[in-house]
Chains A and B, each alone.
Chain A
Amino acid sequence: MDVETVKERAGPREFSPADDMPEKYRKAATRMIQFHANSEIMGAYLEKPFIRQAPSIDRKLAFSAKVQDEIGHGQLLYRAAESLGIKTREEMLDELANGEGKFLNCFHYPMDSWAEVPMIAFFVDGAAMRRQATLKSSSWEPYAHAMDKVCFEEGFHVKHGEDIMARMATGSRKEQQMLQDAFDEWWPRIIQFFGPTDDKSTHHDFSAEVGLKQKTNDELRNAFLDAYVPKAKSYGLEIPEYPRIEEVGDGQYHVEEDDLDWDEFFTVSKNEYEPGKGQIDARKAAQEAVDWVRDTIEGDANLPGSQAAPAAD
Protein backbone atom coordinates (compact mmCIF):
# COMPACT_ATOMS: atom_id res chain seq x y z
CA MET A 1 0.00 0.00 0.00
CA ASP A 2 1.37 3.45 -0.77
CA VAL A 3 1.12 6.46 1.50
CA GLU A 4 -1.60 8.09 -0.61
CA THR A 5 -3.82 5.01 -0.33
CA VAL A 6 -3.21 4.92 3.43
CA LYS A 7 -4.37 8.54 3.70
CA GLU A 8 -7.49 7.81 1.66
CA ARG A 9 -8.44 4.73 3.63
CA ALA A 10 -7.43 6.06 7.07
CA GLY A 11 -10.18 5.48 9.61
CA PRO A 12 -10.71 3.92 13.01
CA ARG A 13 -9.07 0.46 13.29
CA GLU A 14 -8.57 0.38 9.54
CA PHE A 15 -5.13 -1.22 9.35
CA SER A 16 -3.85 -4.45 10.88
CA PRO A 17 -0.71 -6.61 10.59
CA ALA A 18 -2.43 -8.35 7.64
CA ASP A 19 -2.10 -5.13 5.62
CA ASP A 20 1.04 -4.26 3.72
CA MET A 21 1.74 -0.86 5.26
CA PRO A 22 4.39 1.56 3.94
CA GLU A 23 7.48 2.02 6.04
CA LYS A 24 6.63 5.66 6.74
CA TYR A 25 3.38 4.63 8.44
CA ARG A 26 5.01 1.80 10.35
CA LYS A 27 7.78 4.08 11.62
CA ALA A 28 5.38 6.83 12.67
CA ALA A 29 3.16 4.35 14.49
CA THR A 30 6.14 2.70 16.16
CA ARG A 31 7.44 6.06 17.38
CA MET A 32 4.05 6.95 18.85
CA ILE A 33 3.24 3.60 20.47
CA GLN A 34 6.78 3.08 21.79
CA PHE A 35 6.60 6.51 23.44
CA HIS A 36 3.28 5.53 25.01
CA ALA A 37 4.62 2.15 26.21
CA ASN A 38 7.78 3.75 27.65
CA SER A 39 5.62 6.28 29.49
CA GLU A 40 3.54 3.55 31.13
CA ILE A 41 6.71 1.87 32.38
CA MET A 42 8.43 5.05 33.58
CA GLY A 43 5.24 6.22 35.29
CA ALA A 44 4.95 2.92 37.12
CA TYR A 45 8.57 3.18 38.32
CA LEU A 46 7.97 6.73 39.51
CA GLU A 47 4.92 5.69 41.54
CA LYS A 48 6.24 2.38 42.83
CA PRO A 49 8.09 3.77 45.91
CA PHE A 50 4.78 5.22 47.15
CA ILE A 51 3.28 1.76 47.61
CA ARG A 52 5.41 1.68 50.76
CA GLN A 53 4.41 5.18 51.80
CA ALA A 54 0.68 4.60 51.44
CA PRO A 55 -1.01 5.79 54.63
CA SER A 56 -3.35 2.80 55.06
CA ILE A 57 -3.64 -0.84 54.06
CA ASP A 58 -6.53 -0.04 51.67
CA ARG A 59 -4.43 2.56 49.92
CA LYS A 60 -1.47 0.22 49.77
CA LEU A 61 -3.53 -2.54 48.13
CA ALA A 62 -5.18 -0.21 45.65
CA PHE A 63 -1.99 1.63 44.81
CA SER A 64 -0.03 -1.54 44.27
CA ALA A 65 -2.81 -2.88 41.98
CA LYS A 66 -2.64 0.37 40.02
CA VAL A 67 1.15 0.22 39.57
CA GLN A 68 0.79 -3.40 38.46
CA ASP A 69 -1.83 -2.32 35.89
CA GLU A 70 0.50 0.33 34.46
CA ILE A 71 3.29 -2.20 33.91
CA GLY A 72 0.69 -4.37 32.17
CA HIS A 73 -0.27 -1.45 29.92
CA GLY A 74 3.38 -1.06 28.98
CA GLN A 75 3.51 -4.73 27.98
CA LEU A 76 0.31 -4.46 25.91
CA LEU A 77 1.66 -1.43 24.11
CA TYR A 78 5.05 -2.96 23.34
CA ARG A 79 3.10 -5.83 21.74
CA ALA A 80 1.10 -3.34 19.65
CA ALA A 81 4.32 -1.56 18.65
CA GLU A 82 6.11 -4.81 17.86
CA SER A 83 3.30 -5.79 15.47
CA LEU A 84 4.51 -3.04 13.11
CA GLY A 85 7.69 -4.96 12.40
CA ILE A 86 10.10 -2.08 12.95
CA LYS A 87 11.48 -2.90 16.40
CA THR A 88 11.31 -5.86 18.76
CA ARG A 89 10.22 -5.53 22.36
CA GLU A 90 13.79 -6.24 23.48
CA GLU A 91 15.10 -3.40 21.34
CA MET A 92 12.55 -0.98 22.78
CA LEU A 93 13.34 -1.98 26.36
CA ASP A 94 17.06 -1.61 25.66
CA GLU A 95 16.49 1.82 24.12
CA LEU A 96 14.60 2.86 27.23
CA ALA A 97 17.46 1.61 29.41
CA ASN A 98 20.22 3.34 27.45
CA GLY A 99 18.47 6.71 27.37
CA GLU A 100 17.34 6.72 23.72
CA GLY A 101 13.72 5.86 24.45
CA LYS A 102 11.50 8.93 24.83
CA PHE A 103 8.63 9.22 27.29
CA LEU A 104 6.17 11.63 28.84
CA ASN A 105 7.52 14.87 30.32
CA CYS A 106 5.79 14.39 33.71
CA PHE A 107 7.67 11.19 34.44
CA HIS A 108 11.07 12.89 34.30
CA TYR A 109 10.40 14.82 37.51
CA PRO A 110 11.14 13.36 40.93
CA MET A 111 8.35 12.72 43.42
CA ASP A 112 9.08 13.23 47.09
CA SER A 113 5.87 13.36 49.08
CA TRP A 114 2.53 11.58 49.25
CA ALA A 115 0.85 14.90 48.40
CA GLU A 116 2.37 14.58 44.92
CA VAL A 117 0.72 11.22 44.33
CA PRO A 118 -2.65 12.62 43.24
CA MET A 119 -0.83 14.96 40.83
CA ILE A 120 0.07 11.83 38.86
CA ALA A 121 -2.76 9.53 39.89
CA PHE A 122 -5.52 12.04 39.28
CA PHE A 123 -4.36 14.84 36.99
CA VAL A 124 -1.79 13.05 34.81
CA ASP A 125 -3.89 9.90 34.60
CA GLY A 126 -6.95 12.02 33.89
CA ALA A 127 -5.06 13.81 31.11
CA ALA A 128 -3.82 10.47 29.76
CA MET A 129 -7.32 9.06 29.78
CA ARG A 130 -8.69 12.03 27.92
CA ARG A 131 -6.14 11.30 25.19
CA GLN A 132 -6.41 7.50 25.32
CA ALA A 133 -10.17 7.54 24.84
CA THR A 134 -9.58 9.21 21.46
CA LEU A 135 -6.97 6.58 20.53
CA LYS A 136 -9.60 3.84 20.61
CA SER A 137 -10.23 5.16 17.10
CA SER A 138 -6.61 4.98 15.98
CA SER A 139 -6.10 3.52 12.53
CA TRP A 140 -3.60 0.88 13.78
CA GLU A 141 -5.96 -1.81 15.02
CA PRO A 142 -3.62 -3.42 17.60
CA TYR A 143 -3.12 0.02 19.18
CA ALA A 144 -6.88 0.65 19.36
CA HIS A 145 -7.41 -2.81 20.85
CA ALA A 146 -4.81 -2.09 23.54
CA MET A 147 -6.70 1.13 24.33
CA ASP A 148 -9.90 -0.87 24.96
CA LYS A 149 -8.28 -2.64 27.89
CA VAL A 150 -6.30 0.37 29.08
CA CYS A 151 -9.38 2.61 29.21
CA PHE A 152 -11.40 -0.13 30.90
CA GLU A 153 -8.88 -0.18 33.76
CA GLU A 154 -8.08 3.52 33.95
CA GLY A 155 -11.47 4.43 35.39
CA PHE A 156 -10.34 2.85 38.64
CA HIS A 157 -7.03 4.71 38.55
CA VAL A 158 -8.56 8.13 38.04
CA LYS A 159 -11.25 7.63 40.67
CA HIS A 160 -8.75 6.25 43.16
CA GLY A 161 -6.45 9.20 42.46
CA GLU A 162 -9.32 11.57 43.03
CA ASP A 163 -10.13 9.79 46.29
CA ILE A 164 -6.55 10.37 47.51
CA MET A 165 -6.83 14.03 46.59
CA ALA A 166 -10.28 14.39 48.19
CA ARG A 167 -8.94 12.98 51.45
CA MET A 168 -6.09 15.50 51.57
CA ALA A 169 -8.26 18.39 50.42
CA THR A 170 -10.66 17.79 53.31
CA GLY A 171 -7.92 16.96 55.82
CA SER A 172 -5.92 19.12 58.20
CA ARG A 173 -4.72 22.57 57.21
CA LYS A 174 -1.25 21.13 56.84
CA GLU A 175 -2.50 18.47 54.43
CA GLN A 176 -4.36 21.08 52.42
CA GLN A 177 -1.22 23.20 52.23
CA MET A 178 0.90 20.25 51.13
CA LEU A 179 -1.64 19.51 48.41
CA GLN A 180 -1.61 23.11 47.20
CA ASP A 181 2.21 23.18 47.17
CA ALA A 182 2.30 19.99 45.11
CA PHE A 183 -0.31 21.43 42.75
CA ASP A 184 1.65 24.68 42.29
CA GLU A 185 4.72 22.68 41.36
CA TRP A 186 3.04 20.13 39.07
CA TRP A 187 0.34 22.18 37.33
CA PRO A 188 2.52 23.65 34.54
CA ARG A 189 4.03 20.21 33.79
CA ILE A 190 0.58 18.68 33.70
CA ILE A 191 -0.54 21.23 31.10
CA GLN A 192 2.60 20.46 29.10
CA PHE A 193 1.54 16.80 29.09
CA PHE A 194 -0.18 17.50 25.78
CA GLY A 195 3.00 18.81 24.20
CA PRO A 196 3.64 22.09 22.44
CA THR A 197 1.01 23.96 20.51
CA ASP A 198 0.18 22.52 17.11
CA ASP A 199 2.31 25.08 15.26
CA LYS A 200 5.42 23.83 17.06
CA SER A 201 4.62 20.13 17.05
CA THR A 202 6.89 18.29 14.64
CA HIS A 203 5.06 15.00 14.24
CA HIS A 204 1.38 15.81 14.18
CA ASP A 205 0.55 16.30 10.51
CA PHE A 206 1.47 12.89 9.16
CA SER A 207 0.10 10.98 12.17
CA ALA A 208 -3.22 12.78 11.81
CA GLU A 209 -3.37 12.26 8.05
CA VAL A 210 -2.99 8.51 8.39
CA GLY A 211 -5.44 8.30 11.31
CA LEU A 212 -2.96 7.30 14.00
CA LYS A 213 -3.88 10.38 16.03
CA GLN A 214 -7.45 11.56 16.30
CA LYS A 215 -7.09 14.93 18.01
CA THR A 216 -4.49 17.67 17.96
CA ASN A 217 -2.42 18.67 20.99
CA ASP A 218 -4.41 21.90 21.26
CA GLU A 219 -7.81 20.21 21.14
CA LEU A 220 -6.80 17.74 23.83
CA ARG A 221 -5.20 20.36 26.07
CA ASN A 222 -8.32 22.52 25.90
CA ALA A 223 -10.59 19.54 26.56
CA PHE A 224 -8.46 18.70 29.58
CA LEU A 225 -8.61 22.24 30.97
CA ASP A 226 -12.38 22.41 30.50
CA ALA A 227 -12.85 19.33 32.68
CA TYR A 228 -10.03 19.63 35.19
CA VAL A 229 -9.82 23.35 36.02
CA PRO A 230 -13.33 23.31 37.59
CA LYS A 231 -12.49 19.99 39.22
CA ALA A 232 -9.34 21.38 40.87
CA LYS A 233 -11.26 24.42 42.06
CA SER A 234 -14.01 22.22 43.49
CA TYR A 235 -11.41 20.78 45.90
CA GLY A 236 -10.39 24.25 47.01
CA LEU A 237 -7.18 24.29 44.99
CA GLU A 238 -6.08 27.68 43.77
CA ILE A 239 -4.98 27.76 40.14
CA PRO A 240 -1.48 29.32 40.07
CA GLU A 241 -1.22 32.79 38.59
CA TYR A 242 1.13 31.50 35.89
CA PRO A 243 0.59 30.12 33.31
CA ARG A 244 -2.33 32.50 32.83
CA ILE A 245 -5.57 30.66 32.22
CA GLU A 246 -8.44 32.53 30.74
CA GLU A 247 -12.06 31.49 30.81
CA VAL A 248 -13.27 32.07 27.29
CA GLY A 249 -16.93 31.47 27.99
CA ASP A 250 -19.20 28.41 27.96
CA GLY A 251 -17.05 26.64 30.55
CA GLN A 252 -14.09 26.67 28.19
CA TYR A 253 -10.57 27.58 29.16
CA HIS A 254 -7.50 28.66 27.32
CA VAL A 255 -3.90 28.72 28.53
CA GLU A 256 -1.32 31.34 27.64
CA GLU A 257 1.27 28.96 26.29
CA ASP A 258 4.14 31.43 26.27
CA ASP A 259 3.92 31.44 30.08
CA LEU A 260 5.13 27.84 30.12
CA ASP A 261 8.81 26.91 30.18
CA TRP A 262 9.30 25.29 26.79
CA ASP A 263 13.11 25.25 27.06
CA GLU A 264 12.75 22.98 30.04
CA PHE A 265 10.12 20.92 28.22
CA PHE A 266 12.39 20.26 25.25
CA THR A 267 15.35 19.50 27.54
CA VAL A 268 13.14 16.98 29.32
CA SER A 269 11.87 15.57 26.01
CA LYS A 270 15.40 14.84 24.86
CA ASN A 271 16.15 12.90 28.06
CA GLU A 272 18.64 15.60 29.06
CA TYR A 273 16.97 16.70 32.30
CA GLU A 274 19.03 15.61 35.29
CA PRO A 275 16.38 14.01 37.58
CA GLY A 276 14.89 12.22 34.59
CA LYS A 277 18.29 10.78 33.69
CA GLY A 278 18.50 9.35 37.20
CA GLN A 279 15.08 7.78 36.76
CA ILE A 280 16.12 6.20 33.45
CA ASP A 281 19.26 4.78 35.07
CA ALA A 282 17.33 3.48 38.07
CA ARG A 283 14.97 1.58 35.78
CA LYS A 284 17.94 0.27 33.83
CA ALA A 285 19.45 -1.04 37.06
CA ALA A 286 16.13 -2.74 37.89
CA GLN A 287 16.01 -4.31 34.42
CA GLU A 288 19.54 -5.65 34.84
CA ALA A 289 18.85 -6.88 38.36
CA VAL A 290 16.11 -9.19 37.10
CA ASP A 291 17.91 -10.35 33.95
CA TRP A 292 18.33 -13.73 35.59
CA VAL A 293 14.54 -14.14 35.81
CA ARG A 294 14.14 -13.58 32.07
CA ASP A 295 17.08 -15.86 31.32
CA THR A 296 15.60 -18.59 33.49
CA ILE A 297 12.16 -18.31 31.89
CA GLU A 298 13.54 -18.33 28.38
CA GLY A 299 15.88 -21.18 29.23
CA ASP A 300 13.00 -23.27 30.58
CA ALA A 301 10.54 -22.54 27.80
CA ASN A 302 11.47 -25.66 25.86
CA LEU A 303 11.25 -28.09 28.77
CA PRO A 304 8.36 -30.56 28.68
CA GLY A 305 5.55 -30.38 31.23
CA SER A 306 4.15 -27.31 32.89
CA GLN A 307 3.32 -25.93 36.28
CA ALA A 308 -0.24 -25.49 37.52
CA ALA A 309 -1.31 -21.89 36.98
CA PRO A 310 -1.28 -19.77 40.13
CA ALA A 311 -4.31 -17.81 41.35
CA ALA A 312 -4.87 -14.85 39.07
CA ASP A 313 -3.91 -12.28 41.68
Chain B
Amino acid sequence: MIWEVFRQEKPGDYHTHCGNVHAPDREMAKQFAVVQHGRRKPTESLWVVPQEEVGEVDADEVAFGGTTDKSYRWAMAYTSSTEHAKEVIASQQEQEQAEADRQRGDD
Protein backbone atom coordinates (compact mmCIF):
# COMPACT_ATOMS: atom_id res chain seq x y z
CA MET B 1 0.00 0.00 0.00
CA ILE B 2 1.29 3.46 -0.88
CA TRP B 3 1.07 6.42 1.50
CA GLU B 4 1.60 10.02 0.38
CA VAL B 5 3.80 12.03 2.74
CA PHE B 6 3.45 15.70 3.62
CA ARG B 7 6.15 17.52 5.55
CA GLN B 8 5.88 20.64 7.68
CA GLU B 9 9.23 22.34 8.20
CA LYS B 10 8.41 24.76 11.01
CA PRO B 11 5.51 25.06 13.45
CA GLY B 12 2.71 27.01 11.80
CA ASP B 13 3.88 26.22 8.24
CA TYR B 14 1.73 24.36 5.75
CA HIS B 15 2.28 20.64 5.30
CA THR B 16 3.49 20.25 1.71
CA HIS B 17 3.74 17.08 -0.30
CA CYS B 18 7.26 15.65 -0.35
CA GLY B 19 6.93 12.08 -1.64
CA ASN B 20 5.50 8.71 -0.69
CA VAL B 21 6.32 5.44 1.05
CA HIS B 22 5.31 1.78 0.79
CA ALA B 23 3.89 0.46 4.05
CA PRO B 24 1.32 -2.12 5.13
CA ASP B 25 -0.40 0.13 7.68
CA ARG B 26 -0.50 3.65 9.15
CA GLU B 27 2.00 2.98 11.94
CA MET B 28 4.59 1.58 9.55
CA ALA B 29 3.91 4.39 7.10
CA LYS B 30 4.68 6.95 9.81
CA GLN B 31 7.93 5.17 10.70
CA PHE B 32 9.05 4.93 7.08
CA ALA B 33 8.12 8.57 6.47
CA VAL B 34 10.28 9.61 9.44
CA VAL B 35 13.23 7.69 8.02
CA GLN B 36 12.80 8.63 4.38
CA HIS B 37 11.52 12.18 4.56
CA GLY B 38 12.33 13.52 8.02
CA ARG B 39 16.00 12.78 8.32
CA ARG B 40 17.83 15.52 6.52
CA LYS B 41 15.43 18.29 5.69
CA PRO B 42 14.15 20.39 8.59
CA THR B 43 11.02 18.70 9.89
CA GLU B 44 8.52 19.66 12.52
CA SER B 45 5.73 17.24 11.60
CA LEU B 46 4.75 14.70 8.93
CA TRP B 47 1.37 13.56 7.64
CA VAL B 48 0.81 10.23 5.93
CA VAL B 49 -2.29 9.71 3.77
CA PRO B 50 -3.34 6.55 1.90
CA GLN B 51 -2.75 7.29 -1.78
CA GLU B 52 -6.16 5.94 -2.78
CA GLU B 53 -7.81 8.46 -0.46
CA VAL B 54 -6.38 11.38 -2.43
CA GLY B 55 -8.82 12.89 -4.90
CA GLU B 56 -7.27 14.55 -7.93
CA VAL B 57 -8.56 16.97 -10.53
CA ASP B 58 -6.15 18.13 -13.22
CA ALA B 59 -5.80 20.65 -16.01
CA ASP B 60 -7.11 18.20 -18.64
CA GLU B 61 -10.45 18.01 -16.87
CA VAL B 62 -10.94 21.59 -15.82
CA ALA B 63 -9.88 25.04 -16.92
CA PHE B 64 -8.30 26.38 -13.73
CA GLY B 65 -8.92 30.08 -13.40
CA GLY B 66 -11.86 29.91 -15.81
CA THR B 67 -12.07 30.31 -19.57
CA THR B 68 -12.50 34.05 -19.96
CA ASP B 69 -10.32 37.05 -19.19
CA LYS B 70 -10.55 37.64 -15.44
CA SER B 71 -7.95 40.32 -15.06
CA TYR B 72 -10.53 42.29 -13.08
CA ARG B 73 -9.90 39.87 -10.20
CA TRP B 74 -6.34 41.07 -9.73
CA ALA B 75 -5.07 44.06 -7.77
CA MET B 76 -2.73 44.86 -10.67
CA ALA B 77 -5.73 45.71 -12.88
CA TYR B 78 -6.43 48.86 -10.86
CA THR B 79 -4.25 51.93 -11.14
CA SER B 80 -5.13 53.36 -7.74
CA SER B 81 -2.07 53.73 -5.58
CA THR B 82 -1.39 51.46 -2.63
CA GLU B 83 1.38 53.38 -0.91
CA HIS B 84 -0.85 54.32 2.03
CA ALA B 85 -1.05 50.76 3.37
CA LYS B 86 1.76 48.22 3.51
CA GLU B 87 -0.66 45.30 3.78
CA VAL B 88 -2.25 46.25 0.44
CA ILE B 89 1.22 46.45 -1.13
CA ALA B 90 2.04 43.02 0.29
CA SER B 91 -1.18 41.55 -1.09
CA GLN B 92 -0.49 42.93 -4.55
CA GLN B 93 3.06 41.56 -4.46
CA GLU B 94 1.72 38.11 -3.59
CA GLN B 95 -0.71 38.36 -6.49
CA GLU B 96 2.04 39.43 -8.88
CA GLN B 97 4.10 36.46 -7.75
CA ALA B 98 1.17 34.08 -8.24
CA GLU B 99 0.52 35.47 -11.71
CA ALA B 100 4.20 35.16 -12.64
CA ASP B 101 4.23 31.54 -11.42
CA ARG B 102 1.10 30.78 -13.40
CA GLN B 103 2.51 32.23 -16.62
CA ARG B 104 5.74 30.32 -16.16
CA GLY B 105 3.58 27.20 -15.94
CA ASP B 106 2.02 28.03 -19.31
CA ASP B 107 5.39 28.00 -21.10
Contacts and interface: CB of A to CB of B under 8 A. Distances in A.
A304 interface: no
A276 to B, nearest CB: 28
A108 B90 CA distance: 30
A204 interface: no
B12 A65 contact: no
A159 B84 contact: no
A159 B45 CA distance: 38
A309 B61 contact: yes
A14 B84 contact: no
B87 A159 contact: no
A65 B69 CA distance: 13
Given A156-B73, A312-B63, A151 B91 contact: yes
Given A65-B72, A130-B87, A311 B82 contact: no
Nearest to A310: B62
Contact of A163 (B61, B70, B79, B87): B79
Size bracket, chain A contacts: 35 or more
Q: Is the interface of B mostly helix, strand, loop or mixed?
A: loop
Contacts of B13: 13
Nearest to B13: A13
Contact of A151 (B66, B67, B87): B87
Contacts of B72: 58, 61-62, 65, 160
Interface string A242-254: 0000000000000
B74 A156 contact: yes
17 contacts: A14-B11, A18-B45, A61-B70, A62-B72, A65-B73, A153-B91, A155-B90, A156-B91, A159-B78, A159-B82, A163-B78, A227-B84, A228-B84, A308-B61, A308-B62, A312-B64, A312-B65
Going nearest first, the 6 A-B pairs with the smallest beta carbon separation are: A13-B12, A155-B91, A133-B87, A162-B80, A155-B75, A159-B78
Given A126-B88, A154-B88, A310-B62, 18 more contacts: A130-B87, A133-B86, A133-B87, A133-B90, A152-B91, A152-B94, A152-B95, A155-B82, A155-B88, A156-B95, A159-B75, A160-B78, A163-B78, A166-B80, A231-B84, A308-B61, A312-B65, A313-B66
